[in-house]
Amino acid sequence: MEERRLGPVVGLGTWNTFGDDDVLAASVVDAALGAGVRFFDSAPMYRGAEASLGAALAGRRDETTVATKISTRSVEEGRAMYGRQIEWFGRVEIEQMHNLASWREHLEWLEPERGAGRIDKLGVTHYASNAFDELAEALRTGRFDVVQLPYNPHERDAEHELLPLAAELGIPVIVMRPFGEGALLRRSPPVEALRELGVDTWPQALLKWALSDPRVDVVIPATRRPEHARANAAAGSAPWFDAEQRRLVERLAGR
Ligand SMILES: NC(=O)c1ccc[n+]([C@@H]2O[C@H](COP(=O)([O-])OP(=O)(O)OC[C@H]3O[C@@H](n4cnc5c(N)ncnc54)[C@H](OP(=O)(O)O)[C@@H]3O)[C@@H](O)[C@H]2O)c1
């Protein structure tokens, strides 16, 4: 099971941040790379982010992992998305079936791509807990190598079934929305509490909260600010939180 792990690491998400702005993408991605980030998540529906991410990663693809998605129910359109991704990224390390769209149909043409070594891993994602039963069903087929799901102190539904199942099956977990799309950052706890946790910032505490669950491999916070990318990356190393520190983060996050 251990060699299948991807983390624990901090990656970079790309939804709603730099879109097709190549200059902004380059500055955020450069900051992330400089801080040691090597994992990047994108999707065709992120308004041009795949293309600008691909440009920002040029020359660094041998040391980076791109996790992107097939975001359509149509197999024909899915193949076209994959073709564009090959142009932008050279290859795709992790291809995820976005929001469970036609996942059985997409597996049929993507499994041979993985078999031929053109894709390393196939994944499946959903953002909504009412889709978690189907996400679990997909994992139980044994055909997926990775799962992406939401997990933060305000969204813990994954603890009921998906995180235990992923651990049982040895499937690495990528955590989307570690800040609840920013909602968890509206207020910051007192400096003394952060000191007790051994972190400098509240976002770092939230990232460490997720990564300190041994079933979690990668967190993919999104930002349009290079300094945030650097600060977030600093949460990707030990020491990890113990159970008591995780409970403290949960209390601080409130509701
Ligand atoms: N598969 C799916 O269905 C799905 C769904 C949602 C998301 N995702 C993936 O998960 C990624 C992350 O989720 P998300 O983008 O929804 O939300 P998120 O990462 O939970 O939150 C992003 C927000 O946090 C702020 N932020 C980031 N770092 C910060 C810092 N150090 N200090 C202060 N503010 C900070 C950003 O603002 P600033 O720009 O000001 O830093 C942004 O507004 C996405 O980008 C995407 O790659 C996947």
- For the cut 70, the answer to whether the pLDDT of residue 3 exceeds it is no
- For the cut 80, the answer to whether the pLDDT of residue 71 exceeds it is yes
Query: What mean pLDDT do residues 15-21 have?
Result: 93
* pLDDT at residue 73, rounded to an integer: 97
What is the CA angle 229-254-221, rounded to 5?
Answer: 20
Say yes or no: CB of residue 78 within 6 Å of ligand 1.
Answer: no
Ligand 1 atom 23: residue of nearest CA: 182
C-alpha to C-alpha distance for 210 and 29, rounded to whole angstroms: 22
39 Cα: distance to centroid of ligand 1 (angstroms): 14
* pLDDT at residue 176, rounded to an integer: 98
Confidence of residue 2 (pLDDT cuts 50, 70, 90): very low
- Ligand 1 atom nearest to 126, measured from its CA: 3
Decide: residue 174, CB within 10 A, 0-12 exposed, 13-18 middle, 19+ buried: buried
| 107-156 tens-digit pLDDT | 999 999 999 999 999 999 999 999 999 999 999 999 999 999 999 999 99
| 23-58 tens-digit pLDDT | 999 999 999 999 999 999 999 999 999 999 999 999
- Nearest residue to 66 (alpha-carbon basis) of 150, 152, 174, 166: 174
* pLDDT at residue 1, rounded to an integer: 41
| 171-224 tens-digit pLDDT | 999 999 999 999 999 989 999 999 999 999 999 999 999 999 999 999 999 999
- Nearest residue to 233 (alpha-carbon basis) of 212, 213, 253, 218: 218
C-alpha to C-alpha distance for 86 and 69, rounded to whole angstroms: 12
Say yes or no: CB of residue 228 within 6 Å of ligand 1.
Answer: yes
Say yes or no: CB of residue 177 within 6 Å of ligand 1.
Answer: yes
| 235-255 tens-digit pLDDT | 999 999 999 999 999 999 997
Residue type, 211: L
- Ligand 1 atom nearest to 227, measured from its CA: 31
Confidence of residue 4 (pLDDT cuts 50, 70, 90): low
* pLDDT at residue 193, rounded to an integer: 95
What is the CA angle 223-179-102, rounded to 5?
Answer: 85
112 Cα: distance to centroid of ligand 1 (angstroms): 32
Pocket test for ligand 1, best of 149, 220, 223 (most atoms within 8 A of CB): 223
Query: Is the pTM here over 0.85, yes or no?
Result: yes
* pLDDT at residue 231, rounded to an integer: 97
Confidence of residue 5 (pLDDT cuts 50, 70, 90): confident
223 Cα: distance to centroid of ligand 1 (angstroms): 6
